[in-house]
Chain A
């Protein structure tokens, strides 16, 4: 069953704007990961945040984790048309990893 649920399901913004996607989960996790998928292609690992971390940065990506609310957010700053893709959160609760249904991001030039 799915563990993480992304919100919104779809997001459309202009190039240069920031994009924020959220992920909520139900049970305690060891870490949470974000992946990107270009249309019909394999998922690519973007960033991982551990349960004892609150914020992490990687280039234009910023991930936050609030374990009390069981939620995470992925912020992409200064978005580009090439950021158009689906973004998935994956929650690791020890035995395995579970993926959400994803947020479809469209960045218009």
Chain B
């Protein structure tokens, strides 16, 4: 089944403890992106990647890192999480950077992160 898989689904952590949220897609998509969703703010883009080894900042990149060493994986790294990073996170992918214009994104099921 074609899908975007995020892990974990739920995570509670403490301030300052490094964590990684994994994202993997099995559709050979070139484009991948991370969003955070907060009440009343919709989805805001954190980072995106047009292809392997190519990453760019989105609207809210502060406090986050990403890497794209292989096409299928796009992990989101929080080096020193803070409570304001408590949010619902989504990974998304599309065949190419322009393919969203034809088919839209495929989203993962989300990771609910709580930083205390």
B42 and A102 contact, CB distance less than 8 A: yes
Which of B61-69, B72-80, B100-108 has 4 or more CB atoms under 8 Å from chain A? Answer: B100-108
B112 and A40 contact, CB distance less than 8 A: yes
Set of chain A residues within 8 Å of B100, measured between Cβ atoms: 33, 92, 97
Bound together, the chains give a CA A35 to CA B37 distance in angstroms of 14
A48 and B104 contact, CB distance less than 8 A: yes
B105 and A1 contact, CB distance less than 8 A: no
A43 and B42 contact, CB distance less than 8 A: no
- The minimal Cβ–Cβ distance linking A68 to chain B, given in whole angstroms, is 21
A99 and B43 contact, CB distance less than 8 A: yes
B1 near A: Cβ within 8 Å?
A: no
Q: Which single residue of chain B is at the shortest CB-CB distance from A3? A: B42
B41 and A1 contact, CB distance less than 8 A: no
A96 and B112 contact, CB distance less than 8 A: no
Set of chain A residues within 8 Å of B35, measured between Cβ atoms: 99
- The minimal Cβ–Cβ distance linking B90 to chain A, given in whole angstroms, is 6
Bound together, the chains give a CA A1 to CA B40 distance in angstroms of 13
User: Taking chain A's interface residues, is the majority helix, strand, or loop, or is none over half, making it mixed?
Assistant: strand
Chain A interface category by residue count: 20 to 34
Interface residues of B in 1-21 (CB under 8 A from A): 4
B53 near A: Cβ within 8 Å?
A: no
Bound together, the chains give a CA A88 to CA B109 distance in angstroms of 16
Q: Which single residue of chain B is at the shortest CB-CB distance from A48? A: B104
A42 and B42 contact, CB distance less than 8 A: no
Chain B residues in contact with chain A, CB under 8 A?
Answer: 4, 35, 40-45, 48, 58-59, 88, 90, 92, 100-110, 112
| New A-B pairs, 15, CB < 8 Å, besides A43-B90, A43-B105, A96-B58 | A1-B59, A2-B41, A31-B101, A40-B88, A40-B112, A42-B107, A43-B107, A48-B101, A48-B103, A88-B43, A97-B105, A99-B35, A99-B43, A101-B41, A102-B42
